[in-house]
Amino acid sequence: MDLAVASSTSTLTSIDSCITLKFRKEKKTSRTYIIGLEQFVPDVDKFCKDLKKTLGTGSNVIEEDGSKMYGFQGDFIERIYNYLISKGIDKSKIKK
């Protein structure tokens, strides 16, 4: 019985999972954060390194509430959105 509950819970979690793009204005800078990337990209470090080169900006990783937020300096929501789509991630799985 517990196995069936765990199986249905993981199925619901995978259905509800998505990548969230957030823009935050901080003191003297602004950052665009990607949340939930681990569920869709097998090698997150390589993916972020390639994205960082594409954007031509600095990046950082923040761990918050058990999930990681990948931050990039600047307002890049549209460019990151288009990059994720070009890498084969479904539009319906990305929230802006």
- Rounded CA gap, 3 and 7, in Å? 6
Residue 4 burial by Cβ neighbours in a 10 Å radius (0-12, 13-18, 19+): exposed
Residue 40 lies in domain: 18-95
Quick check: is 8 in a domain? Answer: no
Q: Provide the domain count of the chain.
A: 1
Q: How many CA atoms lie within 13 A of 46 on its CB side?
A: 4
pLDDT band at 96 (very low <50, low <70, confident <90, very high): confident
The yes-or-no verdict on residue 10 having pLDDT over 80 is: no
The yes-or-no verdict on residue 11 having pLDDT over 60 is: no
Percent of all residues in the chain with a pLDDT value above 70, rounded to a whole number: 83
- Rounded CA gap, 71 and 55, in Å? 12
How are strands ordered across the β-sheet holding 30-35? Answer: 59-64, 67-73, 30-35, 19-25, 94-95
The CATH number of whichever domain residue 85 belongs to comes to 3.30.780.10
Quick check: is 11 in a domain? Answer: no
Q: What mean pLDDT, rounded, does the chain reach?
A: 84
Question: Span 36-50, mean pLDDT?
Answer: 92
- Rounded CA gap, 20 and 5, in Å? 27
Quick check: is 62 in a domain? Answer: yes
Quick check: is 33 in a domain? Answer: yes
- Rounded CA gap, 18 and 35, in Å? 8
Question: Span 65-93, mean pLDDT?
Answer: 92
The yes-or-no verdict on residue 9 having pLDDT over 60 is: no
Q: What pLDDT does 6 receive?
A: 40
